[in-house]
Chains A and B, each alone.
Chain A
Amino acid sequence: MRKKALLIGIGITAIVYALAFSYIFLISPIILEQGVPWIGSIVPVQIKELPIVRDIVAGVEKGYISNWFEKELSKKAKYKENEVCGECHKEYLDLIISSNHSSLACESCHGVGEEHSKLRTAWSIVVDRSRDACMSCHLNVSGREAIVTVDENHYPGVKCVVCHDAHDPLSISWSEGS
């Protein structure tokens, strides 16, 4: 009698365990959202066609269950990468890659390229030729040992781009007239 009760108990436990396991690892919403790489090799049925899964999918579509993961994935990247800039401005991209500023991305200085990549006008991108734009990195502030810095005594009041090309900072063009 005791043995039979024990067997029944273990059986029920195993069923509950298997149900919980299959929910958590096979058909819970988060697994369905992300996909399981090994699911096709073990479970032959199409999970998304099971009735309970169909309900969950319908709930997501009607908004009862959050589909935030897809929303997050579908967000647009505002910062484009250098390849997008290089489609039009290849000469500047080639110049900066071979120069001392090669670790800079275009958008480090020119700001976010979301609007400019659509409009392609001069005013939709930041072209800051002021001294402060260079000094945001190159001013001699404490703790800037990693890069070359200058203090305010280095040609005070003159814009950096008069002598230095920002895309190739080591080539110095300077004459008395300018």
Chain B
Amino acid sequence: MKRRDFLKSVLILPGLSLLASLGKEGVSYAMVVDVSKCIGCGKCVVACKIENDVPKEMPISRTWIEGYSADYSSPYSRTQVQKVVMNTTENPFIKMKWKYKTVFYVPKLCNQCSSAPCVQVCPVYARFYTKEGVVLVDKDSCIGCKYCVTACPYGATFVHPEQKVTDKCTFCYHRISKGLKPACVLVCPTGARKFGNINDKNSEVYRLLKESRVAVLKPEMGTYPRVFYINLDTTVVE
């Protein structure tokens, strides 16, 4: 056998697998959040904590709402911003006295990055991608070293105080694998959160991504998130 033939035969298996994967569009989940529709009622935070057994009174949550109050000025770098976070079941926005006149609410959650820093830094490979693109934590393998907590640019990972391992949003993987919506999407009264399969041309997420101009959080980090925001304000930097 010539060397050239041998090298060709070595390349056959990866080539075959590549060919087999071509033309097959699998399920790829994404969430689209319309910031202008969020009213800061906090029902998503409560629902997430109940659905996923996160302690209600502690300031940790898989999803949280950030209330921003901004006073725009020129030059833009002098813009004044006040930020209040809701991550318990108590809603601080109801009795809030905001400093500045423009007020808006931004729901945040794990961005399910396509190139996730938490997966890269995990020393025991407890974090992994599912075939739908959701980043999951293997809670049996996690040793609680908190590397992922420091690596996450969005602050979406935390240490569960009862289970003593890291925890984060899974897009309610036990629900979406049965065809249900995530808990936060289900209870959102204004439809600010939409969830679905990007590759499905009939899904609402596909329509929203096609029709509207979307932004992601911290694109400069190179994480390629799966959570897209419509009408996102540029003062939302974190």
Contact = CB atoms under 8 A, between A and B. Distances in A.
Interface string B135-171: 0101111000000000000000000000000000010
A107 B40 contact: no
Contact of A79 (B3, B6, B186): B186
Contacts of A137: 39, 41, 189
B187 A107 contact: yes
Interface string B1-38: 00100110010011011001100101000000000111
Interface string A119-139: 000000000000000011101
B91 interface: yes
B14 A21 contact: yes
B123 interface: no
Nearest to A38: B20
Contact of B177 (A11, A14, A73, A107): A73
B180 interface: yes
Contacts of A25: 17
B183 interface: yes
B94 A141 contact: yes
B93 interface: yes
A120 B181 CA distance: 23
A177 to B, nearest CB: 32
Given A69-B136, A73-B177, A136-B42, 10 more contacts: A7-B3, A11-B6, A30-B128, A38-B20, A42-B20, A66-B140, A105-B187, A108-B186, A135-B94, A145-B36
Given A69-B136, A105-B186, A136 B180 contact: no
Q: How large is the interface on A (under 10, 10 to 19, 20 to 34, 35 or more residues)?
A: 35 or more
B98 interface: yes
A62 interface: no
B189 A77 contact: no
Contacts of B50: 78-79, 112
B236 interface: no
Contact of B183 (A18, A72, A79): A79
Interface in A49-88: 66-69, 71-79, 81
B98 A18 contact: no
A141 B198 CA distance: 34
Contacts of B42: 136
14 contacts: A17-B10, A21-B14, A41-B20, A72-B170, A73-B173, A76-B174, A78-B51, A79-B47, A81-B186, A112-B47, A142-B103, A143-B39, A143-B93, A146-B38
Nearest to B95: A141
Most A CB contacts (10 A, CB to CB) among B14, B21, B189 go to B189
Contacts of A30: 128
A135 B40 CA distance: 12
A144 interface: yes
A178 interface: no
Contacts of A21: 13-14
B191 interface: yes
B186 A72 contact: no
Contacts of A75: 174
A17 B12 CA distance: 12
A170 interface: no
